[in-house]
A and B are shown apart, each in its own frame.
Chain A
């Protein structure tokens, strides 16, 4: 009704660095999940991906917190303040512990795996699954507990984050298995069986992910004023390219079509394309969720 003559612009608080941090923890959690499929759950066909999965999980989780520390204005102070002046009500407090425990557990799990100790590998793998769920789920909680913003403040947020983590992790594993088999083995033969299994898994997880996004948006569009506005902003406003095109069409729907049709799935070029598109789409999802969720002013 009124026309704003003067108002103060609001500083955007969580930027792209946080998006990259969420993306890398997601990839780490996803590849850890894949590595536990054979040792933890006895799915023998995924065994060739186990060692690679745990190594990437550890490496990515050593890289990811660097983005977090770049975002924090006082990185050294934050390293010990998070433990000494702990606030049990804050989601970030738990993250500090998880970011220490999860890589440690992954390293132990990886050592036992490389020593071929099946019993202890299974043990630490099964401990690692709740840790991997927590280390990525808590990033969803961070956003969900930012109660001011309707786009974030939903119970779906941690689950959406978990599923997007798993799909991006699987896509990364597909790409890495192809590169390893094609260029770094003596036989130079691509393991068709494991790729087929991962692609099918990717397809089903993508369906769940798309369903969660549908739930989220259908509820947002029927909620209060701010929720409706942020949903319109995502679907038709400035974020439409990032959300509708990059995240959902490029990142989820086209890869879903490719991995769900056996003829397309067996074409390695298309499978690489699907995995790449999915990884780009999930990165877009992180940016849209973190940055797009808070770009609209509240007052």
Chain B
């Protein structure tokens, strides 16, 4: 983890999601859609649900998904017009005035969290609700989470809850092998929620 190495004065925003607390209520999904005016059929953040086990030993596992705000984001590297950029505090954003909608970053992102806005034709993604963060508020999904499963804060500040959770708890990030250094950490991440069922039909397809 590169948190220790970087400039300590600036904040480095990150998120820890405690999946032991997540009840799969999808409130964060709705809060995000309302806050950011996300169009129908598209999500910036969502909760993947998996049913695992064999009856009678079955359980549902959840994985809230959002942009991982990587330290070394692929999307920023491949963007031909510098529209995707990383702020100094670690938030990966898209400049709508620069973006031409070529969708290259969409195909290069290992987390598949980017989408083309159907009306604007530019790329859109989770930006940790940067306008709320700049005003000292929490992102909408964190604010709305009824069980406080999502924790947001400054990873450089050793007093913050996220920094303490990351140092104390066994955390895991998604696809660390891609070399992107993601800054969304999960506590109690279930292996089944990371598996990709590529040839299996979804439940609603049947």
Contact = CB atoms under 8 A, between A and B. Distances in A.
B100 A73 contact: yes
B145 interface: no
B49 A78 contact: no
Given A72-B101, A78-B102, A142-B104, A299 B196 contact: yes
A284 B43 CA distance: 32
Interface string A69-84: 0011111011001100
Contacts of A299: 48, 65, 111-112, 174, 194, 196
Interface in A217-233: 226, 229, 232-233
Nearest to B179: A147
Contacts of B110: 147-148, 298
Interface string A1-45: 111111110110110000000000000000000000000000000
Contacts of A4: 48-50, 197, 200, 202-203
Size class of the A contact interface (CB-based, 8 Å): 35 or more
Nearest to B54: A1
Contacts of B132: none
Contacts of A96: 80
Contacts of A89: 77-78
B86 to A, nearest CB: 13
Interface residues of B, number: 53
A196 B41 CA distance: 55
A164 interface: no
Interface string B67-84: 000000010011111110
Contact of B108 (A2, A11, A147): A147
B80 A93 contact: yes
8 contacts: A4-B50, A5-B50, A13-B104, A74-B121, A85-B98, A86-B82, A92-B80, A299-B194
Given A13-B107, A147-B74, A294-B107, 6 more contacts: A11-B42, A14-B104, A82-B80, A85-B83, A90-B78, A93-B80
Interface of A: 1-8, 10-11, 13-14, 71-75, 77-78, 81-82, 85-87, 89-93, 96, 142, 145-149, 226, 229, 232-233, 237, 294, 296-299
Listed from nearest, the 7 A-B pairs whose CB atoms lie closest are: A73-B101, A73-B121, A2-B192, A13-B106, A92-B80, A78-B100, A2-B52
